[in-house]
Structure 1
Amino acid sequence: MNEEDDNRLKKRKKKRLLGADRRKRLLRLKCYVQNYDWGVIGCNSQVARLFSLNSGSGTPDPRECYAEFWIGTHKSGPSFVVFGRDYNNAAAALGSNAVSLKDWISVDPGAVLGDKVARKWGGELPFLFKVLSVEKALSIQAHPDKELARALHEAQPSIYKDDNHKPEMALALTGFEALCGFISSKELKGVLSSVPEIVELVQCGDAEKFSHDSGQDGKEKVKQLFESIFSQIMSSNKGIVRDAICKLKRRLSFEKKKRQLSAKEQLILRLEGQYPADVGILAAFFLNYVKLKPGEALYVGPNEPHAYISGECIECMATSDNVVRAGLTSKKRDVQALLSMLNYKQGFPEILQGVSLNEYTRKYAPPFDEFEVDRCILPQAASVSFASVPGPSLFLVISGKGTIITGYSEESTLQEGEVLFVPAYMEVSITSGATELRLYRAGVNNRFFGDS
């Protein structure tokens, strides 16, 4: 038997073992945790609590940082299917201790994902669904577009682990702070007039030129100067940066005795406490300081600078883990790559409030095909239906208990920490129990199916 015949036989065996009419099956998933050092420690972390409940692993380690709870098919943190009684037999027959969601999908992608999704993205979920618990600021970073992602992956596959782009959205569970996108020219003029430590690092005359160039005729020139000033800051010698930050800290510490520091100045001192002498502290002056309330969302496109600062959120993105870092991190930095890829778009980012689908559910749909997120809060004994859609969905229960019934009359209990995979063309109805039920759904953006 040749290799091609062997692979064909294995695929038929998998299809038989994993079920024939797989479109009708609701799947429970066990999911992955990432313990990055910026995460929230132990039981204080929403990520830790959800992972503990989802995995049955017991009380979270009180010394461990729990940063991200991953749900999806990405190889850096895959989800696995929980089958119930036939799980051990199926897993053993497939030659493994567990069956990944990716393996389940790969048997018949069209039936599980829907034909249009399978044609576009193959046997992968096009989105990665996460919960983040942020105690300490993440890096100043950007995510590459598809062309750059392919180049970075080819050149450094151990660092850039896939060739996909990574547009993303953060939907606040608690108050959530972030830096995102470049401030306006007007705001930068204010920075250059009030932060001498920044001006000292900029090439002679650039700051003055920026302050005088204005109006429509000078718009392109202003953008070029903005890019030049930011690049000079980010490329400055480490010793010079350290001295500038030392001066900045000393000045702000003195001034806060005499006046109320601005929100950005207070943030600068917090960042300095977390990442002393890091150039990302200075970079923060150039970025919009965003504060989300629970239920508000922020989306970040390719080549946009950002950094999450604190709080907890639901995050959804295209299936990728590509990050180009340049500050506020102990990980590898690629300053020149970041500077070359940024779009230098200025202005405050759009904040999504969600669109009401019914009295319990709001939809958050960023301008990317790969994903959208629904937020559902069900009071005691309330019910809501999620209509059949031509793509897959992931459901995460944040708190509470209830029941779920599919359009194929399959009924099951629901409780906090559970993650469900719902295949394409399956309607589900959910009813809360004796307390409020909070859940989130991630799926392919409805705009992708608009011309179906």
Structure 2
Amino acid sequence: MSTKEYDGGNEVKSTLQSAFAKLMTASKDAVSEAITKLISRLDTKSKIRTLTEKEQLVLSLERQYQGDVGVLAALFFNYVKLSPGEALYIGSNEPHAYLSGECIECMATSDNVVRAGLTPKYRDVQTLCSMLTYKQIFPEILRGVPVQPYVRHYTPPFEEFEVDCCLVPPGELVVISPVPGPSIFLVMTGEGEVQADSMSDGENAKNGDVFFVPAYTEIKLSACGPEFMQLYRAGVNSRFFS
């Protein structure tokens, strides 16, 4: 899975790391003062021109997380908006922050999650600043590959997992072929029925339900009611079995 990357060499990465670390380790008073000045300047600018999306984002974050260093750290990040059906892959040791809307996140096995801003939880700034890659990249937006009617397949560039999006129309039956590894199905919207060889009877499925499906098991999905039933399947990446 490719990314658009600018690599200015070790000197550029070192400069970026130094600037980011100085911001993240600045005193609370210094951060608060910088945010106050930035917000004041943006308020003034908004009266004479339309603010950029990144500038509008800063104002929005400041309203939600007053005095938080993450308001300023956002200026170091790409600002990415995803439409329904789109996805992106984030590699290990790459910082990211989810801001708004609904999405699913599938995460490879990890022994830690390091936080440093835009959160009331514990922050480990030193660890975060030391572990990041400081690559200057913009993630490629993924739109999935249709593998059968009503099913799109998303494959990241590693063996831990893959994700399918199943959008079952009312009254339709979708059959998911057996795969070599176990799967987890999450129902996001709608309602219907899930049938599998491992189930004696079909199980009713509704928003928020989760089903574990063993390897080599055929799944039948049917939607009931007036709306689509949207499910996501997370399983072992098929590349692992090649």
TM-score (norm 1): 0.49
- Partner SS for 2:136: coil
What residue is the counterpart of 2:232 in the other structure?
A: 440
CA shift, 1:408, in A, is 6.7
CA shift, 1:346, in A, is 0.8
Deviations for 1:163-208, whole angstroms, at most 9, x for unmatched residues?
xxxxxxxxxxxxxxxxxx9x977xxxxxxxxxxxxxxxxxxxxxxx
User: Matches of residues 392-411 of structure 1 in structure 2 within 5 Å?
Assistant: 392-407=182-197, 410-411=200-201
- Out of 110, 118, 127, the residue aligned to residue 328 of structure 1 is 118
- Out of 218, 227, 234, the residue aligned to residue 427 of structure 1 is 218
Q: Give the Cα separation in 2 of the matches to 1:219 and 1:320.
A: 28
Computing the radius of gyration over CA atoms, which structure comes out larger, 1 or 2?
1
What residue is the counterpart of 1:306 in the other structure?
A: 96
Preserved contact between residue 326 and residue 333 of structure 1 (Cα < 8 Å)? yes
Q: Give the Cα separation in 2 of the matches to 1:408 and 1:396.
A: 17
Q: Give the Cα separation in 1 of the matches to 2:198 and 2:42.
A: 63
Does structure 1 residue 238 correspond to structure 2 residue 28?
yes
Percent identity of the aligned residues? 55
Any unmatched runs of 5+ in structure 1? Answer: 1-180, 186-215
Deviations for 1:338-384, whole angstroms, at most 9, x for unmatched residues?
11100011121122211111120001121232221111111122222
User: Matches of residues 64-213 of structure 1 in structure 2 within 5 Å?
Assistant: none
Change (3 A) 1:269 1:413: same
Aligned residues: 238
User: Matches of residues 238-317 of structure 1 in structure 2 within 5 Å?
Assistant: 238-317=28-107
TM-score (norm 2): 0.89
User: Matches of residues 352-431 of structure 1 in structure 2 within 5 Å?
Assistant: 352-407=142-197, 410-417=200-207, 418-431=209-222
CA shift, 1:431, in A, is 2.5
- Partner SS for 2:43: helix
Q: Give the Cα separation in 2 of the matches to 1:378 and 1:328.
A: 36
What residue is the counterpart of 1:191 in the other structure?
A: none
Deviations for 1:59-96, whole angstroms, at most 9, x for unmatched residues?
xxxxxxxxxxxxxxxxxxxxxxxxxxxxxxxxxxxxxx
Preserved contact between residue 399 and residue 415 of structure 1 (Cα < 8 Å)? no
Q: Which aligned segments of 4 or more residues in structure 1 are displaced greater than 6 angstroms?
A: none
User: Bigger CA drift: 380-389 or 318-327?
Assistant: 318-327
Preserved contact between residue 192 and residue 206 of structure 2 (Cα < 8 Å)? no
Q: Give the Cα separation in 2 of the matches to 1:257 and 1:225.
A: 34
Deviations for 1:5-57, whole angstroms, at most 9, x for unmatched residues?
xxxxxxxxxxxxxxxxxxxxxxxxxxxxxxxxxxxxxxxxxxxxxxxxxxxxx
Does structure 1 residue 449 correspond to structure 2 residue 237?
no
Change (3 A) 1:409 1:245: closer
- Partner SS for 2:195: strand
Any unmatched runs of 5+ in structure 2? Answer: none
CA shift, 1:434, in A, is 4.5
User: Bigger CA drift: 221-230 or 268-277?
Assistant: 221-230
